[in-house]
Amino acid sequence: MSAVLQIAGVERRFAGAGGGTLALQATSLSVAENDFVTILGPSGCGKSTLLRIVAGLDHPTAGEVLLDGARITGPGADRGMVFQSYTLFPWLDVLDNVCFGLRERGLPRAQQREIAQGFIAKVGLAGFEHHYPKQLSGGMQQRTAIARALANNPRILLMDEPFGALDHQTRELMQELLLGIWEAERKTVLFVTHDIDEAVFMAGRVVVMSARPGRIKLDRPVELAHPRHYSIKTTPAFAALKAELTESVRVEVLAAQRG
């Protein structure tokens, strides 16, 4: 399977006294077409920094990131980003939020609406097209953000703890919703999370990063069949992989606490 994304020797050092802070040591990762890769690791290990570099919102101190063989030097429509915080435009309703990227690309209004309404329906928000963000729950706002990212048809979807601010029940429903969309759309996804259950349930591969300065210490395939139902979380195979990853992450969390 061909690689869509190649992260090659990427390092990030932030300027400061005493040589600054090395947040991310030389890191390499290849993400294949249609793969769903989740990234785990302790707080401050560079997970979000790596994702921001892929998004073009930050730049590596060393190394490079290639998307379809082209070097990433800044943001682009070929990458869709969904953040933990609700990043909708408050003055736009659901429909116009989802249309935003399509409008920026210059698509005719009728085509914008057709594409946007299709994705609004896929995330379960049909009937809410003319509601504003302040009228929506957190889960509904994130559904809108996901629809907006998907509507622009990016080559890769980048997700930085998108369900981290949601309550437990809503979070699990959002996991099932996104996984169902991925199983239908087969987008390439790079997904940062602190939740090990979420990482295993969603992913085709789970990557574990070390304590700062971050590096990839484990890259584990998730050999659980699709389509996945939430009940898979009770199976021995799920429990075994969760236990392995929990121990791997715990070692790094303790290392981070020791400083």
Which two tokens mark 257? 């606490």
Q: Mean per-residue pLDDT for 22-33?
A: 94
Which residues lie closer than 8 Å to 220 by C-beta, 6 or more apart? 205, 206, 207, 208, 241, 244, 245
Q: Mean per-residue pLDDT for 180-184?
A: 90
Q: Give the start-to-end residue ranges of the domains of the chain.
A: 88-153
The pLDDT value recorded for residue 196 is 95
Rg (CA), the chain: 18
Confidence of residue 1 (pLDDT cuts 50, 70, 90): low
pLDDT at 30 over 90: yes
Distance CA 31, CA 75 (A): 19
To the nearest whole number, what is the mean pLDDT of the chain?
Answer: 93
pLDDT at 27 over 90: yes
Q: Of the ranges 43-47, 197-201, 243-247, which one carries the lowest mean pLDDT score?
A: 43-47
Burial of 21 (0-12, 13-18, 19+ CB in 10 A): middle
Query: Per residue in 206-242, pLDDT tens?
Result: 999 999 999 999 999 999 999 999 999 999 999 999 9
pLDDT at 21 over 90: no
Query: Per residue in 102-128, pLDDT tens?
Result: 999 999 999 999 999 999 999 999 999
| Percent of the chain residues past pLDDT 90, beyond the cut | 77
Query: Per residue in 74-104, pLDDT tens?
Result: 999 899 999 888 789 999 999 999 999 999 9
